[in-house]
Amino acid sequence: MAIKEPEVLNPFTQAVTQFDTAAQRLDLPQALRAILRLPKRELTVNFPVRMDNGRVEMFTGYRVQHNINRGPAKGGIRFDANVSLDEVRALAMWMTWKCAVVDIPFGGAKGGVIVDPRKLSRTELERMTRRYATEIAGVIGPESDIPAPDVNTNPQIMAWIMDTYSMHHGYSIPAVVTGKPLSVGGSEGRMEATGRGVFFVAREACHVRGIPLEGARVIVQGFGNVGSVAARLMHDAGCRVVGLADVYGAIYSEHGIDINTALRYSQEHGSLKDLPGTVAMDSKTILEQPCEILIPAATEGQLTGRNAGRIQARLIVEAANGPTTTEADAIFRKRGIAVIPDILANAGGVTVSYFEWVQDLQHFFWSEAEINARLERIMVRSFNAVREKCEDQPNCDFRLAAYLLAVSRVAEATAVRGIYP
């Protein structure tokens, strides 16, 4: 098979291709296609930060709002050396579809700073975060655009953003970001929400595909906020987690890895590397090991035309955003491997972010049991809506079905609002 994919994949090209496929199938009018293909607003900021040694370093960051027709823009902030404007554009567009597929009243946005946060001290990280928050303060706000954590950002960083924004206004505005610590208006269950949502859709998909959870072999690539929770819940449900990976490498054990031990080990050693009782592998090879369920939970472009033919899973649940290229998607379709798309699979995070925002605005907080029960209802309802759409349509897979549902909801809101002026 000819491999057309370039070495460096452009996630925005991939996001637009996915949108175009859905727009074509929906027969969307030209005006709606033109509007929805492009981000509404893009901000690039270059800003100085004083480092601990007294030197001043320049950083570049972005905030992109793809669409706000269904509600305020919503999306995480990523701190990573590989951040680019096209990556942030793609992630912002995926957020629009994600909020629409679970039918919560938000549009899509994303932010990022080009930085390896592991190279910053805590005080440098705080100054960098606060300056970036100040630079984007003109476009974010509880009614306009609400950031949240993503790769390499966490509740502490959200607290600094909330505090910086509040300082500018002279009073506390907790609803400006979600994923905050509980002590400053965070929500019960938010930390675990994305991984928990991944578990709910994986469970439903296994049921539909006739894969018993008990004993199912699972491989999870990425052992951060999302991957570690998804792995633990799959393990607790009786699955055998045979492979795990983080940025330092992968570990494999055909007898199953005890997730609680792996969590403790990873916290103590900063990585999963050399976990006793496991075999070391690289984080691409692990994807190709035999398993029933593969959960990419790290970063984009992991499943490509190069490795899709060697993947042995029966079900892929996209916990990460954009882990599967369009070429890999086509190969999986041909091979009968079901892919639960990112915009559905990892929507648990934004769903509980929505709960957090609602609680902050109302100054009225819910219990963890209530949050988890509401999350489960939304994830199961959304999974079933996507499955039904998939069954209704000729030649459809879960990704196309999720896009058809999401894009039609956003297109309807866009059409009914009309073109201003």
CA distances from 234 to 158, 309, 315 (A): 28, 25, 14
Q: Which of these is catalytic: 74, 110, 180, 389?
A: 110
Closer Cβ to ligand NAD, 154 or 408, answer by number: 154
Closer Cβ to ligand NAD, 150 or 188, answer by number: 150
Distance of closest approach, residue 185 Cβ to ligand NAD, in angstroms: 17
Member of 49, 233, 320, 337 binding ligand NAD (CB under 6 A):
320
Q: Amino acid identity, residue 45?
A: V
What is the four-CA torsion angle of 337, 347, 266, 121, rounded to 10 degrees?
A: 130
Within 13 Å, how many C-alpha atoms sit on residue 11's CB side?
A: 23
Closer Cβ to ligand NAD, 35 or 230, answer by number: 230
Distance of closest approach, residue 273 Cβ to ligand NAD, in angstroms: 11
Is residue 192 a contact point for ligand NAD (CB under 6 A)? no
Closer Cβ to ligand NAD, 225 or 278, answer by number: 225
Closer Cβ to ligand NAD, 35 or 77, answer by number: 77
Which residue in the block uniquely carries the two structure tokens 């049921």?
A: 207
**How crowded is residue 357: how many other Cβ atoms within 10 Å of its Cβ?**
27
CA distances from 158 to 6, 47, 52, 222, 267 (A): 35, 19, 22, 22, 21
Distance of closest approach, residue 49 Cβ to ligand NAD, in angstroms: 21
Member of 22, 226, 241, 390 binding ligand NAD (CB under 6 A):
226
Dist CA 399 CA 345 (whole Å):
10
Closer Cβ to ligand NAD, 318 or 414, answer by number: 318
Closer Cβ to ligand NAD, 111 or 222, answer by number: 222
CA distances from 195 to 158, 276, 299, 317, 347 (A): 19, 25, 15, 11, 9
Distance of closest approach, residue 127 Cβ to ligand NAD, in angstroms: 21
Q: Amino acid identity, residue 233?
A: L
Q: Which neighbouring-strand residues pair with 76?
A: 148
Tell me phi and psi for residue 38, to 5 degrees. Answer: -115, 145
Q: Please, which of residues 349-368 interact with ligand NAD by CB under 6 A? A: 349
Dist CA 218 CA 131 (whole Å):
41
Q: Please, which of residues 234-263 interact with ligand NAD by CB under 6 A? A: 245-247
Question: How many chain residues bind ligand NAD (CB under 6 A)?
Answer: 24
* Residues 32 and 414 sit within 8 Å (Cβ to Cβ): yes
The site string for ligand NAD over 18-57 (x = CB under 6 A, - otherwise) reads: ----------------------------------------
The site string for ligand NAD over 268-307 (x = CB under 6 A, - otherwise) reads: ---------------x-------------xxx--------
Which residue in the block uniquely carries the two structure tokens 């370093």?
A: 57
User: Per CB under 6 A, which region of 166-174, 319-327, 376-384, 409-417 contacts ligand NAD?
Assistant: 319-327
Query: Quick one: DSSP state of residue 118?
Result: G
What is the rounded end-to-end Cα distance, in angstroms, of the chain? Answer: 50
Member of 65, 67, 164, 194 binding ligand NAD (CB under 6 A):
194
Q: Please, which of residues 127-186 interact with ligand NAD by CB under 6 A? A: 149-152
- Please indicate whether residue 284 is annotated as part of the active site: no
Distance of closest approach, residue 147 Cβ to ligand NAD, in angstroms: 12
Task: Tell me which H or E stretch contains 111.
Answer: strand 107-114
* Core vs surface per residue 327-356: b (16+ CB within 10 A) or e: bbbebbbeeebbbbbbbbbbbbbbbbbbbb
Instruction: Supply the residues annotated as catalytic.
Output: 110
Which residues of the chain form contacts with ligand NAD (CB under 6 A)? 149-152, 194, 221-227, 245-247, 283, 297-299, 319-321, 346, 349
